[in-house]
Amino acid sequence: MHLRVWNVTARHEQRGHILIITIDRPEKRNAINNEITEAIDKALNELDDNPELWAGVITGTPTMFSAGTDMSTQDGRSTERGGEYGLIRRTRVKPLIAAVEGNALGGGFEIALACDLIVASTTARFALPEVQRGVIATSGALFRAMRALPINVAREMLIAGTSLDADRAYQLGLVCQVTEPGLACEMAVLLAERICGASPHSVQQTLKAINSQLAAEDALGWEATRVAVEAILQSEDMQEGLAAFFEKRSPEWKGR
């Protein structure tokens, strides 16, 4: 096992042919800032470029996957190879598994949606609460959620902020395995090891073929997201929603 610490908030380690990336900022609910983005990007660059690495796992701390973007700093760095969070727009051919304990909220859920498979413990909860803050999901959920879930379930999550627990997420096909608390990463590594028992060339060509078929849908999804974001950035509701969030009060929406 080789452990590398890129900064105090994220680390990654190699276990055989598997790279395990851990977001470790529990005092901020594993909210993503520029430093974590850079660490994820470096780790995934290594996964992409190292021929001895065949699969990856990304996880958080024992009680929290990630609450998404750090709203206190509103860091918005996007990397050249990975896009948002160093991951969201990355072109990958090596499988990446999200191991979720606790909440995967907003951008945290979008990180999981950007992975190929999701393993979750019974403590996991998935939600897209952006509209409750006067903003929208900007990192792929506007099209990936309805690809991973029945359209009406995805719509409810996106416009009502409704959450899914691990069992319902499994029943709906979003999550491939559910574990007891504290075992999501271990189970994800076992799944990665099973994948690594197959031909890495065959696995990579399979993922490449799948992703090539989704590329056109992704392009439409990103364009629709861009149009929606432009409208939100000009809205009074966004300013009110963010102010209410930081002031810990209920927002007073103006509907514009």
Q: Is 110 a catalytic residue?
A: yes
Selecting among 13, 84, 130, 223, the annotated active-site residue is: 130
> Does the annotation count 46 as an active-site position?
no
In 3D space, the residue among 29, 107, 49 whose CA is nearest the CA of residue 19 turns out to be 49
Catalytic residue among 35, 52, 110, 186: 110
Active site residues: 110, 130
